[in-house]
């Protein structure tokens, strides 16, 4: 993933500790956002929101992207709501889980969300 052309990992360190990270993959004017993660001890401090904002800024200003998109597990309603509060909208597209044989449930899939970067 990291070696793919147009791929970036943005990281936030707190001293020697990795506090959070986010993956970006630019393709033309669109950028995929994934793996937004925050250390459990840093959650509820706004770091996820700050990483998301920096990922959007970086994609727009440094990579020239006009649109950010992501895939979120359909059953993670609270996570989808989190991204909606930050301007992401459901596109109506879905994507299958990439390794279905590892699922405990057969009805798991991804919803695609997107946002225009301004």
Q: Which helix (H) or strand (E) covers residue 36, if one does?
A: strand 30-38
Q: Going from the N-terminus, what domains does the chain have, and what CATH number goes with each?
A: 7-116 (3.40.630.30)
Alpha carbon 49 to its chain's center: 11
Maximum separation of any 2 CA atoms in the chain, in Å: 42
Of 114, 116, 56, the C-alpha closest to 89 is: 114
Task: State the pLDDT at residue 5.
Answer: 81
Statement: residue 2 has pLDDT above 80: no
**Cα separation of the two ends of the chain:** 27
pTM of the model: 0.90
- In three-state secondary structure terms, 31 is strand
Using one digit for the tens of pLDDT, what is the confidence trace for 8-27?
A: 999 999 899 899 999 999 99
| Cα Rg, the chain, nearest whole Å | 15
> Can you tell me the distance from the alpha carbon of 92 to that of 102, in angstroms, rounded to the nearest whole number?
25
């Amino acid at each position: 993933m990291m070696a793919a052309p147009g791929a970036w990992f943005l990281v936030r360190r707190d001293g020697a500790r990795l506090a959070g990270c986010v993956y970006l993959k630019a393709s033309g004017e669109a950028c995929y956002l994934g793996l937004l993660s925050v250390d459990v001890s840093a959650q509820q401090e706004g770091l996820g929101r700050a990483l998301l904002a920096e990922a959007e800024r970086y994609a727009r200003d440094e990579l020239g992207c006009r649109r950010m998109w992501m895939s979120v597990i359909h059953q993670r309603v609270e996570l989808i709501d989190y991204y909606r509060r930050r301007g992401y909208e459901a596109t109506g597209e879905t994507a299958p889980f990439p390794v279905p044989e590892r699922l405990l449930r057969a009805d798991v899939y991804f919803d695609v969300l997107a946002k225009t970067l301004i």
